[in-house]
Amino acid sequence: MSISTALDRLADTQRLDAGIAPIRALVNRLLRPQALKDMLHGVWLGHPLHPAMAQVPIGAWLSAGLLDALPGHRKEAQLLVATGIAAAVPTALAGAADWSESDVGQQRVGAVHAVMNSAALALYVGSLVARMRGNQRTGRRLAYAGLGLASASAGIGGHLAYHQASGASHATTAARAVSQKWIDLGPLADLPDGQPVLRVSQDSDDRPTPLCVLRHGQQAQVLVDVCSHLGGPLHSGELVEVGGKECLVCPWHGSTFAVSDGSVARGPAVAPATVLHTRVSAGRLEARLPERHIN
Ligand code: FES
């Protein structure tokens, strides 16, 4: 069985859920207010923060491992081990924030990822204590064990990102299926005013794609009806105002997007919603995908 298949089976393992539920509730209780959670998600950065931060402990620990293999670098290796330990804490908090609002399969695989990272961290703390007490040999051994565990866990993190699409923009993926021509969305006057509705692309030679349409008088905004976080249906969301902008709240985990440009006002999403260009021709609303999404 390949590693990938084994991890897919892990993602299907319901037995893990009983342990996951209380930890997830605890994480959601501790990571408050929402501004803190948004900071940990990486809303301010426009990219998930956790994988970016993970470079620091992994890089520090790998470097310490290389120095441990050379004579005369005890102090430098000890400093790098301590640096990795210090960086692991905020990295874990960012990962916990993402994990708490992921789908079931991601939570199961993510739980194993977190347990392995915690064990690696414990080994490195033990390594640091041993080094500070002058027991360099034990310090090195514990560090190498921690490095092996952290590296395997990083591989699981890669599976979460690339196979399970954790942190990827689902809106961008969905946009690739949208017609690359102007899409006829019917008479503008037929759309309800001030209420998001679902319309499906009517361009028959392309793939039908759900679009979220919101009309205000003689103008309308059209978004790909797929939340960038995990693909929730935006047309089912509530309209709110955030910072003077009209926003749509995804019904699944509450990500909030400005209707005008798709920008993220609130996580867990970090990537924007996909907003289409619009025009009204002979009373009919038409929409077209921005250039950057055309494949
Ligand atoms: S799918 Fe999670 S917030 Fe939209």
pLDDT means per 10 residues in the chain (295 residues)? 93 95 95 95 96 96 97 96 98 97 97 97 98 97 98 96 95 88 92 94 70 95 97 97 96 97 96 96 93 77
Q: Which amino acid is at 5?
A: T
Classified as helix, coil or strand, 199 is strand
- Give the pLDDT of residue 201: 77
d(CA 57, CA 82): 9
Cβ of 67 below 6 Å from ligand 1: no
Is 41 near ligand 1, meaning CB less than 6 Å away?
no
**Candidate of 172, 253, 264 to mutate for ligand 1, largest count of ligand atoms within 8 Å of Cβ:** 253
Distance CA 4, CA 33 (A): 36
Res 192: pLDDT: 95
Rounded Cα–Cα distance for residues 188 and 292 (Å): 26
Residue 159 has a CB neighbour count (10 Å cut-off) of: 20
Decide whether any atom of ligand 1 lies within 6 Å of the 228 Cβ.
no
pLDDT reported for residue 1: 86
250 CA to centre of ligand 1 in angstroms: 6
Which of 104, 255, 256, 266 to probe ligand 1 with, by most ligand atoms within 8 A of CB?
255
What's the pLDDT at 205?
A: 59
What is the distance in A from the centroid of ligand 1 to the CA of 160? 17
Q: Using the mean position of ligand 1's atoms as its centre, give its distance from the Cα of residue 229 in Å.
A: 5
Nearest to 47 by CA among 169, 202, 192: 169
Sequential DSSP letters for 220-275? EEEEESS-TTT---GGGSEEEEETTEEEEE-TTT--EEETTT--EEESS--SPPPE
Report the residue among 102, 212, 252, 257 best suited for mutation to probe ligand 1: largest number of ligand atoms under 8 A from its CB. Answer: 252
With contact defined as beta carbons under 8 Å apart, do 88 and 100 qualify? no
Closest CA to 290 of 261, 251, 255, 254: 261
